[in-house]
Amino acid sequence: MATEELTLAILPRRVANEASEFERIMAAHERLVLGTAYRLLGRMEDAQDAAQEVFLRLFKNLGRVGDDPKPWLYRVTVNLCNDYYRRRTLVAEPDERRADPAPDPLSLLTMDERKRLLMEGLQTLARRERAAVVLRDVEGLSTRQVAEILGVEEVTVRSQVSVARVKLAKYVANYRKVRR
C-alpha cells in the first residue's frame, strides 16, 4: 500500500473534515488572496507564491481563524507581500501584461491600458499607501475594515489612500504627457 493511501486510510474524521473545510474556504477566497497579492507585488509569479504561502498558513491555523476568514486572509496577505517586497532585490521585470504593443498616442486611454498603468503606478507607491489603496479601492473595503487589517487608525488610512490616489493620478497623467 502506498504511503499516501495509508495516510488517507487512517486519517481521523476530524482531520478529513478540516481538510474539506479548508478546500471550501480556499475555493471561496482564492481570488481575494491572489488578486490582492498581485496588486501589491505587481508580478504574477510572486503573487502566486505569496498566495500559496497564505493558504498554507491558513491550513495550519484553521482552528484559530474565525467564522469569517476574510480579515485574517487580508492581514496575512498584506504582511506576506510586505515581506516579499522587502526581500525582492531585482527590479520588477516586465510582466506579460506589460508586453502589449504601445497604444496609439492620440487615442484616449483604454481600460486595459489604464489598468496596466495603474499596476505600474501601484509599484511606485510606498508600501503602506499601496496596501491601503488596494484594500480600499480595489477590494472595496471600508476605511474601518482597512484600518483593522493594517492595524492603524482610520484617519491614517484616509490619509494614505488620498496620497496614493493623487500619486496614481499623476503617474497616469505623466504617461499622457510623455506620449504627446
Partner 1 sequence: MTCQECELALAREESSGAVNEHLSACAACRAQAEEMQANSQALRAFATDELPSVRAGVMAEIHAARRMRWDWALAAAAILVVVFAASRMWRIWNTPVPELPPVRIAVAPPEVPIPVEKTRPRRQAPVQHAEPLMVKMLTSDPDVVIYWLIETKEGTE
Q: How far apart are CA 34 and CA 48, in angstroms?
A: 6
Angle CA 172–150–30, to nearest 5: 75
Q: Give 89 or 168: the residue with its C-beta nearer to partner 1.
A: 168
DSSP state of 104: P
The CA dihedral of 99, 100, 105, 106, to the nearest 10 degrees, is -170
Q: Give 89 or 107: the residue with its C-beta nearer to partner 1.
A: 107
Q: Give 39 or 149: the residue with its C-beta nearer to partner 1.
A: 39
Rounded least distance, CB 1 to partner 1, Å? 12
Q: How far apart are CA 132 and CA 140, in angstroms?
A: 11
Binding residues for partner 1, rule: CB under 8 A, are 3-4, 6-7, 19, 23, 26-27, 30-31, 33-35, 38-39, 44, 48, 51-52, 55-56, 59, 109, 111, 114-115, 118, 133, 137-140, 158, 161-163, 165-166, 168-169, 172-173
Q: Give 4 or 89: the residue with its C-beta nearer to partner 1.
A: 4
